[in-house]
Structure 1
Amino acid sequence: MERIVAAALRIVDEEGAEALSMRTLAQRLGSGTATLYRHFDNRAALVAHVVDRVFGAVQLNREELVAMGWQQALRTVAHTMFDALGCHRDAARLMVEQIPMGPNAMALRENCIAVLLDSGFPPRVAAHAYATLARYVLGFAIQTNGHGGTGQLDAAQMPAVFRSVDQSLFPATLAVAGSLPVPIEDEFSFGLELLLSGLVQLHDDV
């Protein structure tokens, strides 16, 4: 099983999420699809195992997270998840197909929600907080590792872009041109801090 899932993840890394199928995996392993179906009912079951293998890289236990305090715990989880997905070119796209429910993903979700509940967040807010955090990380991971790169202009391209438009129409953008483009890692950290600030307000209002 371990060898099969590892091979499936390599296909995703090398060829993209859409390339992963029972047939391509069988070819990669030099076996027949019948062999794979003895382990996985369908592609969705295979994807679930591949996704959970990625989550296995997020090694954070509850005691560690509790000791950090809830804000640092969520910050650490978000950055660790982002880094784990960053190690695999297209794995984030697999997570769009289904909610991760493997043992590694469930353990991470359980530990994060437990920290939030222990810190005084009501159950509904704790559930929404983790779901929002996970979706936030996933969205940035897709932009970073998906096809076409980050979708951002290289810094060297920015002057040429501004010369090609009527600058009088975009004075505010021109005023911040020296700070553009914002590296996607900086965008991620900045947005994460905004998310955490909002949760602080919710926590204080409880």
Structure 2
Amino acid sequence: MERIVATALQIVDEEGADALSMRTLAQRLGSGTATLYRHFDNRAALVAHVVDRMFGFVAFDVDEPSSTDWQEALRTGAHAMFDALARHRNAARLLVEQVPLGPNAMALRERCVAVLLDSGFPPRTAAQAYATLARYVLGFAVQANRHEGADRTEDAQAAATFRSLDPDLFPATLTVASEMPVPIEEEFSFGLELLLSGLARRREV
């Protein structure tokens, strides 16, 4: 089972989520599709295992969370999720297809929600906060580009475009042109701090 799921994730990483099928996976493994159907009822079941394998790469642990460290715990967890999912951003797109309910995903959800509950957030707010945080991380992870050479070229082109804007049409954008484009990792961290600040105010009400 471990080899099958690892190979499925490799296919998605290399060729994209649409490339994953029972036939493609069987060919990569050098076996027949009948063998795979003994482990998975359908592609959706296979996808669920691939998604959960990604969550197994999230290096996040919380010991005895308290009301004073919840922001740091969630910050650490969000960055750990982002790093893990961004390394497999083709596979991260599979999260759009289903709610992750595998053991690794459930364990991560449990730790994060426990942090919120133990810190005084009511159940509904804790549930909404985790869902919002998870979707925020996923959105950035899907967009993350780890090809640094391509990033630098695209950033340079975008920066040149911003600097060449007509000041009469885009005065505000031209004012901040030297700060754009913002690297996605900085955007992620900045937005995460806004989310945590908003949650802190919610907790104080």
TM-score where L is the length of structure 1:
0.91
The one-letter code matched in structure 2 to 1:71 is: Q
Q: Which amino acid aligns with 2:202?
A: L
- Residue 95 (str. 1) matches residue 95 (str. 2): yes
- The answer for the alignment partner of 2:125 in structure 1 is 125
Letter in 2 for 1:142: V
Q: Is the 8 A contact 1:93 1:142 kept in 2?
A: yes
Q: Secondary structure at the match of 2:79?
A: helix
CA distance in 2, matches of 1:49, 1:89: 16
d(CA) in 1 for partners of 2:179, 2:130: 31
Partner deviation per Cα, 1:44-99 (whole Å, 9 max, x = no partner): 10011011111011133341655981101110010000000122141110111001
Specify the SS of the correspondent of 1:154: helix
Match of 1:8 in 2: 8
CA distance in structure 1 between the partners assigned to 2:68 and 2:76 by the alignment: 9
Runs of 5+ unmatched residues, structure 2: none
For 2:183 and 2:61, the matched residues in 1 are separated by: 30
Number of aligned pairs?
A: 201
Q: How does 1:79-94 map to 2 (within 5 A)?
A: 79-94=79-94
> Quick one: distance in 2 between partners of 1:109 and 1:85?
15
Structure 1 residue 115: Cα displacement:
1.1
Paired amino acid for 2:141: A
Percent same amino acid at aligned positions? 72
- The runs of 4+ residues in structure 1 deviating greater than 3 Å are 64-68
Cα distance in structure 2, aligned partners of 1:103 and 1:42: 19
Q: Which residue of 1 aligns with 2:155?
A: 154
Q: 1:68 to 1:145 in 2, by over 3 A?
A: farther
What residue identity is the alignment partner of 2:60?
L
How many Å apart are 1:155 and its aligned residue? 2.8
8 Å contact kept, 1:155–1:180: no
Q: Which moved more, 1:87-96 or 1:191-200?
A: 87-96
- Give the 3 Å change call, closer, same or farther, for CA 65–141 of structure 1 in structure 2: farther
In structure 1, what is the equivalent of residue 107 of structure 2?
A: 107
Report the AA paired with residue 199 of structure 2: L
Aligned to 1:71: 71
User: Does the residue aligned with 1:115 lie in a helix, a strand or coil?
Assistant: helix
Summarize the Cα distance change of 1:20–1:180 in structure 2 as closer, same or farther, 3 Å threshold. same
User: 2:60 is matched with which residue?
Assistant: 60
Structure 1 residue 153: Cα displacement: 4.2
Partner SS state of residue 48, structure 1 = helix
What is the alpha-carbon distance in structure 1 between the residues aligned to residue 169 and residue 75 of structure 2? Answer: 38
Closer/same/farther in 2, CA of residues 92 and 117 from structure 1, 3 Å limit: same
Give the Cα separation in 1 of the matches to 2:65 and 2:77.
Answer: 9
**Structure 1 pair 66/40, CA: closer, same or farther in 2 (3 Å)?**
farther
